Homo-oligomer: A and B are copies of this chain.
Amino acid sequence: MREPVLLVLDADPSPRLGRLAGRVLVRHVDRAGLAAQLPRADVLLVWDLASDAVREAWPGDGPRPAWVHTASVGVDRLLCPELVGCDTVVTNARGVFEQPIAEYVAGLVLAFAKDLPGTLELQQRRRWRHRESVPVAGSRAVVVGAGPVGRAITRLLMGLGVEVALVGRTARRTIRGAGDLDRLAARADWVICAAPLTPRTHGMFDTRFFGLMQPSARFINVGRGPMVVEGDLVDALRKRWIAGAALDAFEREPLGPQSPLWDVPGLIVSPHMSGDAVGWRDRLGEQFVAMYELWLTGRPLPNVVDKRLGYIPGTDLDE
């Protein structure tokens, strides 16, 4: 039997696949070479996440990989109607980013509550100005997105004593349905977006939504950028409809130096780093290697994405 062909849509540094030596033919490819190589590959590893290359290069009815794995949680950049409609299996990197993202969100919540940005600014000006902080225990959060990331955030915030409502598309045992979101957001201190980017969630955080929130509340996005209408968020902050926000993802990345987002009062801008704890690339590589070994021996793959939904549907908080 010939060795399977693994196509790696690459980025720097490349994944470490040494453990697969002799059991795979690895072909590294860049965006430009993708369309030509896809029909001859058995497996596609999407290591470079910064582009829509797969969507653009995916073959129509012709030969194609049996399995596509993406080294990310979100699959929005991959899915095109042809990929959704065919029998190719799509898997994601569930398990690598959840805990770091949850810690990042908890850090932002505590930083806002304790006004750490204000402390750092006063320190630069060499000014001693005592302020009162806000208790986090007993505050209320809404986490939008009931996937593994949203669930990890929920668990960590609950450990800090926050009352958390976890909102998914449809209501389940410990998860509230999307129909409850407006009412929950209107009484929340923290609204945290950890949802997948889908046609339903695209642009959902807009002027209407920010208008529902309390003036003392903060908005945090660790999902995809296009879920937030950035101009609407800037307006809401400038008009003090909400007290603050933190964005770790943007409509277009990286943000250029000319972006108006850098100096909006009350807005913390970070470079899409919430999930990237030291060693994340190694963990992504190890995860793929383990999955490839399952695939090679015909065993079922974990982390299979529901391509029509655009994510891995969960069933409950404790899962």
Contact = CB atoms under 8 A, between A and B. Distances in A.
Interface of A: 99-100, 103-104, 106-108, 110-111, 113-114, 116-117, 119-120, 122-124, 126-137, 156, 159-161, 253-257, 259, 262-263, 268-274, 276-280
A278 B132 contact: yes
Contact of A270 (B119, B272, B277): B119
Given A100-B133, A104-B114, 8 more contacts: A99-B135, A119-B273, A120-B120, A126-B257, A126-B262, A128-B271, A131-B271, A132-B279
Nearest to A158: B159
Interface centre among A114, A127, A160 (most CB of B within 10 A): A114
30 contacts: A99-B135, A100-B133, A100-B135, A103-B135, A104-B110, A104-B114, A107-B107, A107-B110, A107-B111, A107-B113, A108-B116, A110-B110, A119-B271, A119-B273, A120-B120, A120-B268, A122-B271, A126-B263, A127-B257, A128-B256, A129-B271, A131-B271, A131-B273, A132-B273, A132-B277, A132-B280, A133-B273, A133-B277, A134-B277, A135-B278
What is the copy number of this chain in the assembly? 2
A280 B130 CA distance: 13
A47 B120 CA distance: 29
B114 A254 contact: no
A272 to B, nearest CB: 7
Contacts of A99: 135, 137, 161
Contacts of A129: 271
Contacts of A280: 132
Contacts of A130: 271-273, 276
A282 to B, nearest CB: 11
A2 B126 CA distance: 51
Contacts of A278: 132-135
A86 to B, nearest CB: 34
A133 B159 contact: no
